[in-house]
Amino acid sequence: MKKMTCIHIGGLYASKEPAVIETLLGSCVAVCLFDPVEQIGGMNHILLPGRADLKHYDVVSRYGINAMELLINKLMNLGSKRYPLVAKVFGGAHVLPAISHENGMGRKNVEFVLEFLHMETIPITSRDTGGCRARKIYFHTDTGEVLLKRIHPTHHAEVGLRERNFVDRVVRMKAEEPGEITMFT
């Protein structure tokens, strides 16, 4: 029996032992990295593209660059080599109809991940991104196999609300930090 692990927004997990990692995605993106030689795999759950301001945020793995670098480093620490890694990319749905597709976070997350993987020369062997349906992902760390379940649109409001609340909380945390004051005389 394989160990089951569920990751949430900003989470990541990698294992040398056979395991199944699951996550629920709306506009977030999950990247599954797999080393077919060593049979080591891992997955992250990215909330926002780009890099976290390390002075203000405690869960830096919510941000694309941080999440990708942390996952690659974790795999290498488990014995993976850098260049046999292959990727599978999921998520990036447009779950908030009030926001235009062009400004949607799902599209921005997918663009970021695809560009990152291209720059790092990590081939993408499978991808299911975009659209308007949330996804539940099950990634097998020892085989690289992914099982995907698309979520019926009635659950979109719940997934979209959960992601919107996370984004709002991160923005509030930033706003609550005292800033510099410049006095004008």
Catalytic residue numbers, as ranges: 28
Distance set, CA 100 to CA 92, 103, 109, 165 (Å): 14, 5, 15, 19
For the sheet with 29-35, list strands across it.
Answer: 12-15, 40-46, 29-35, 86-91, 124-129
Task: Count the alpha carbons within 13 Å of 107 in the hemisphere toward its beta carbon.
Answer: 10
Distance set, CA 107 to CA 3, 124, 181 (Å): 32, 17, 36
Contact status, residue 82 vs residue 76, Cβ threshold 8 Å: yes
